[in-house]
Amino acid sequence: MTVIGCGHLGATHAASMAEIGHEVVGVDIDNNKIATLRSGRAWFYEPELDEMLARHVASGRLRFTTDFAEAGEFGEMHFLGVATPGMADRDDYDLSQVWAAVSALAPYLHRSCLIVGKSTVSVGTTTATRELVQELAPAGAAVDVAWNPEFLREGHAVQDTLRPDRIVVGVTSAEAEQKIREAYQPITDAGVPLIFTDPATCELVKGAANAFLATKISFINAMADLCEVAGADVAQLAEAVGLDPRIGRAFLDAGIGYGGGCLPKDTRAFTARAEQLGADSAVGLLTVVDQINASRRRRVVDATRKVCGGDLTGKRITLWGAAFKVGTDDVRDSPALDVAIRMHAQGAEITVYDPMALETARAAHPELGYVGDALTAAAGADVLVVVTAWPEFRTIDPEAIAEVVAERVVIDACNALDEPRWNDAYWSLHRIGRG
């Protein structure tokens, strides 16, 4: 099999398919990425991935190329793992990489094969892909198209590929279904559910799943606002509500809101497609979800400005956190960095520390200040703001931090700190959703 596109999704999928016994060729147009992957390591951080890449590149079971002709001749099954970012001018997916990958591959598909999309896309993309393949593939080529969206969490992508909650595939033929069953048999034999649907349902499953997760996050953040004005504790509320098995505790952590390269743009694109199709109730619900999420970043900035007397100009603000979540160096649409940029724009002197994402943050926003350890970053700070819930921050000694800051004021925007320890050290601690 081949995997077209060797980013966060494609490189992980390629290595995982080699891990379960397949012969895999990864394809990308970026020579630098391919050179790095050929050396047996990823060009980004993902736990367990480098070890798996090194093992299967060394064995010869996994190799990487920029040659689509080689891929077309080799593959019986071609997974599309290219990026589908948000559009610059509207809330929709930019599918240009999907069309480019299919256009580059299709002319070389002389043998019977199956193209399987894994990228997150709008409903109707499978049909459009099939039409493009039929237009570009050699006459008489027997090429089928299915869709099999990923459900990966950054920081857990290897485990989510090898031991997922479910595998969902949209197919239109029995032959495609059989090929998928064979490809995933080592995983499904371990008890992972394999669900076959029509392509439209499959495409909507991914969007609906992300929309529901986004809704849970925005719901608990709305409850945090209510708890603050009512004098209640959102953490205790979440624990109690989450014990109901119909609701569940996951994704009920109040804080700075969701970010990253998937959930924000997926929710907006899903909403845009619903609007195009006239599904007004879905549009209304998800528009509010997105609005609540956007408001969280503003609230953190507002809270910081308030403790600074209403003006951030010249204030020294230290932010602990840059990654959009724990366990990754990814800063795409990071709420943490967005808060930093907003404060910087209001005249604050910003210093950022993150245990993993300093270099990616520095590359994205060199105008901010960066320091390589939490204690040094806090030196001289008028306010300390915790914006990514790294476990390290819970274990830091607040007395040691108190020795270097200008003021003992901390805003815990993601409920990451050990509250009693910071209170005992005489910090003025401000938390999300705590009245």
Q: What is the CATH number of the domain that holds 124?
A: 3.40.50.720
Same domain, residue pair 352 and 431: yes
**Nearest-CA neighbor of 112 among 77, 68, 147?**
77
Same domain, residue pair 159 and 206: no
Residue 347 Ramachandran class (φ > 0 left, ψ -120 to 50 alpha, else beta): left
Residue 102 confidence (pLDDT): 97
Same domain, residue pair 252 and 365: yes
Residue 85 confidence (pLDDT): 86
Give the integer Cα–Cα distance in Å for 14 and 22: 9
Same domain, residue pair 85 and 223: no
Same domain, residue pair 180 and 328: no
Same domain, residue pair 169 and 211: no
Residue 435 confidence (pLDDT): 63
Same domain, residue pair 145 and 233: no
| Each residue's pLDDT expressed in tens, for the chain with a length of 435 residues | 999 999 999 999 999 999 999 999 999 999 999 999 999 999 888 999 999 999 999 999 999 999 999 999 999 999 999 999 888 778 888 999 999 999 999 999 998 999 999 999 999 999 999 999 999 999 888 999 999 999 999 889 999 999 999 999 999 999 999 999 999 999 999 999 999 999 999 999 999 999 999 999 999 999 999 999 999 999 999 999 999 999 999 999 999 999 998 889 899 999 999 999 999 999 999 999 999 999 999 999 999 999 999 999 999 999 999 999 998 999 999 999 999 999 999 999 999 999 999 999 999 999 999 999 999 999 999 999 999 999 999 999 999 999 999 999 999 999 899 999 999 999 999 998 886
Please tell me the total count of domains within the chain. 2
- Do residues 358 and 366 lie in contact, with contact meaning Cβ atoms separated by under 8 Å? no
The separation between the first and the last C-alpha atoms of the chain, rounded to the nearest angstrom, is 55
Strand order across the beta sheet in which 24-27 lies: 62-65, 24-27, 2-4, 77-80, 113-117, 143-147, 167-170, 194-197
Residue 88 confidence (pLDDT): 78
* Catalytic status, residue 262: yes
Tell me the three-class secondary structure of the chain, residue by residue.
Answer: CEEECCCHHHHHHHHHHHHCCCCEEEECCCHHHHHHHHCCCCCCCCCCHHHHHHHHHHHCCEEEECCHHHHHHHCCEEEECCCCCECCCCCCECCHHHHHHHHHHHHHCCCCEEEEECCCCCCCHHHHHHHHHHHHCCCCCCEEEEECCCCCCCCCHHHHHHCCCCEEEECCCHHHHHHHHHHHHHHHCCCCCEEEECHHHHHHHHHHHHHHHHHHHHHHHHHHHHHHHHCCEHHHHHHHHHCCCCCCCCCCCCCCCCCCCCHHHHHHHHHHHHHHHCCHHHHHHHHHHHHHHHHHHHHHHHHHHHHCCCCCCCCEEEEECCCCCCCCCCCCCCHHHHHHHHHHHCCCEEEEECCCCHHHHHHHCCCCEECCCHHHHCCCCCEEEECCCCHHHHHCCHHHHHCCCCCCEEEECCCCCCHHHHHHCCCEEEECCEC
Phi and psi dihedrals of 233, rounded to 5? -120, 110
Give the integer Cα–Cα distance in Å for 299 and 291: 12
The three-point CA angle 412-393-46 to 5° equals 110
Same domain, residue pair 243 and 269: yes
Same domain, residue pair 111 and 236: no
Give the integer Cα–Cα distance in Å for 112 and 105: 14
**Nearest-CA neighbor of 13 among 114, 160, 196?**
160
Which pair of structure tokens corresponds to residue 148?
């099999």
Rg (CA), the chain: 24
Catalytic residue, candidates 113, 202, 227, 262: 262
Which pair of structure tokens corresponds to residue 18?
């080699």
Bridging pattern class, strands 316-320 and 194-197 = unpaired
Residue 31 confidence (pLDDT): 96
- Do residues 329 and 8 lie in contact, with contact meaning Cβ atoms separated by under 8 Å? no
Of 138, 173, 197, the last residue of a domain is 197
Give the integer Cα–Cα distance in Å for 350 and 361: 13
CA dihedral 115, 68, 132, 143 (to 10 degrees): -40
Give the integer Cα–Cα distance in Å for 55 and 59: 6
- Tokens 């979440």 sit at which residue? 238
Residue 212 domain boundaries? 198-435
Same domain, residue pair 237 and 346: yes
Of 151, 173, 197, the last residue of a domain is 197
- Tokens 């093992």 sit at which residue? 55
Of 160, 180, 197, the last residue of a domain is 197
Give the integer Cα–Cα distance in Å for 179 and 78: 11
The crossing angle, in degrees rounded to 10, of helices 31-38 and 49-59 is 80
Which pair of structure tokens corresponds to residue 218?
């925005």
pTM exceeding the 0.85 threshold for the entire prediction: yes
Same domain, residue pair 102 and 216: no
Same domain, residue pair 255 and 280: yes
Residue 141 confidence (pLDDT): 87
